[in-house]
Amino acid sequence: MYPIIYIISPPRTRSTILFRALDAQSIFTTFHEPSIAPHDKIKYPGLTSDWFHPYSFKDFKEIQNAILTESEKNYVLVKDISFSFVKHLDSLNFISESNIYFYFLIRNPLETMSSYYEKVKNMNSPAIWDNYLNLNGFNCLDHIYNIILKNAKNKPKIILNEEFSNPGMLLASILEPLDLNNTIKLKWDDLGGEFDGKRWNEQKKKDFFIIWHHSAIRSKEIIWKESNIKNVDDLMSSVYDIHKNIVLSTLKKNFEVFLIRENYYLKKSSH
């Protein structure tokens, strides 16, 4: 069995640019957010009913089988959003597979929420706003981490967004379980406007895939820059009045996870 690199993160953590950088090494069979299709079909059928391909995964067992089957033939890279990954915790056999290496990517909630809000602020579906805390992905992150820490054969590792400032070191640390001698590629080709995600086993139809991941698809390297969202006022300046209460309350709860648990994660993953 070949190693499986499995990245879990809240939305808008630069996870897809990291996925693209690893994909560019040309060694992986890739699965980009495989769990989102069965998750949304259960949780948000009215909102996302036309987002996914007819051949998208129907349930979580199908995803697990596909990933493990591919790992019999090749290195595998998976990236999942935290809120849609949760159902995999029902299968401790899967998360305890000896060839899976879990990585948790976390980013300051001020930055993730600013990015996420820009994507959804003009969506009028109650499903978005009634589930805003869950869809921001922090509230389940701690639960997932602790279950994986207890049951995974390989200790999960934490990636802080500041590590993107040194892409070579970041990629080397993730690729370490593969024990390769390959030179790590730090630049790659723009995938172009015709890229439909099939190479990534993407579950969303192209139009819905591009909305969320355009910049990563068109990227040519990881470029680190400091966020211009430095405080709550910076975040709230672009929030419509109708959304201010839900955004503020979600931010508070997300920071409870981020600030309290950041050092906890790092200490746990280093022991």
pTM of the prediction? 0.93
pLDDT of residue 271: 41
Max CA distance (Å), the chain: 54
In three-state secondary structure terms, 78 is: strand
Mean pLDDT (the chain, rounded): 91
Domain count for the chain: 1
Q: What is the CATH number of the domain that holds 66?
A: 3.40.50
Domain ranges, residue 187: 4-269
Strand partners, 32: 79
Query: What are 194-249's pLDDT values in tens digits?
Result: 999 999 999 999 999 999 999 999 999 999 988 889 899 999 999 999 999 999 99
* Angle, vertex CA 106, rays to CA 104 and CA 107, nearest 5: 165
Are 85 and 144 within 8 A, CB to CB?
A: yes
Distance CA 184, CA 169 (A): 10
| Residue 44 pLDDT | 84
The predicted-structure confidence for 227-242, as pLDDT tens digits, reads as follows 889 899 999 999 999 9
